[in-house]
Amino acid sequence: MPNWVITKIYITGPEDKIKEFEGKVLRPNEDEDGEFQRTFSFDRIKQRPEELANTISPSQKPEVRKVKDMQGNEIVVEVYRDIINDWDIQSAISRGETPPEPIPCNNATPDQQEELRQKYGSSNWYDWNLENWGTKWDCSESTYSEEDKILQFQTPWACPQEIISEMAGMFPDLRFDGSYADEDFGSNAGYITNGGAYSLDNLSEEACETAATLWGHEGYYDDEKKEWVFDGEEDE
């Protein structure tokens, strides 16, 4: 499992430009309670080519799996990890249904990989995401406050610097300022100024305070020990 990074961005500028941002970038959704909310996806800023969706990353390999049919007989099925899930195959067979066909992998051969590199600069979804979004996956847990104009989301391992920079370029009349912090407390934290992301020294007072604010930890920074003291630790 990755470390998750919270990014919180304050959006300021002319009201009409903020409305334009909200209309172009945010998706209207209905939550489980039937309430309207706006969510965020990197695809709204820079959409990944559809052809790269059905590719495997450099660390993934096509595999052959054996599953059992309703009579207990083994069936050999080709599986591309992350393109079709073993559970989907086995579940279909257990219900007496025809298992889904593996989705063709678009970068299984060197020729396919080179063709994709020529067209998109990357031969797989993983490399493209890192180069164009700054993280390996799209964001999750996204929220937007229409009242305060605050956008917040989580990403694996890193703050999506490329997306933030791209967003600032799309809306030059707006400012995008804020902060980010890794769940690994005090590490991989930083601030965002007008679309640029800048890191703070690991375990510095500012990095710890940023992490505490974003992740909701109470405590204080001990100047002598140069570390964060969480509430309750001083009594132990």
Residue 73 CB coordination number (10 Å): 8
Q: Is the pLDDT of residue 183 over 70?
A: yes
Better-predicted residue by pLDDT, 215 or 74: 215
CA distance 105 to 86: 16
Distances in Å between the alpha carbon of 202 and those of 71, 158, 205? 58, 14, 9
C-alpha distances out from residue 122 to 56, 60, 112, 193, Å = 12, 15, 11, 29
Going from N- to C-terminal start, the domains of the chain cover 4-46+135-200, 51-126
DSSP letters, 21-87, are HHHHHEEEEE-TTS-EEEEE-GGGTSPPPGGGTT---TT--EEEEEEE-TTS-EEEEEEETTTS-HH
Closest CA to 156 of 168, 176, 141: 141
Residue with tokens 């979004």: 133
pLDDT tens digits for range 17-65: 999 999 999 987 766 776 777 889 999 999 999 888 888 787 766 555 5
Candidates 107, 53, 54, 99; CA nearest to 76 is 99
Q: Looking at the predicted structure, is the pLDDT value of residue 213 above 60?
A: yes
Are 48 and 41 a contacting pair, CB within 8 Å? no
Least confident piece of the model among 73-87, 152-166, 211-225: 73-87
Q: For residue 179, give the 3-state DSSP assignment.
A: strand
**What confidence category does residue 14 fall into, taking pLDDT thresholds of 50, 70 and 90?**
very high
Dihedral angle sign, alpha carbons of residues 59, 62, 63, 69: positive
Class of domain 4-46+135-200: alpha beta
CB atoms within 10 A of CB 67: 18
pLDDT tier for residue 81 given thresholds of 50, 70 and 90: very low
Distances (CA, A) of 163 to 24, 26, 127: 15, 14, 15
Q: What is the pTM of this model?
A: 0.78
* Rounded Cα distance, 16 and 6, in Å: 28
Mean pLDDT score, 110-119: 89
Q: What is the pLDDT of residue 233?
A: 64
CA distance 112 to 78: 19
Average per-residue pLDDT for the chain: 84
For residue 121, CA distances in Å to 86, 118, 144 come to: 31, 6, 32
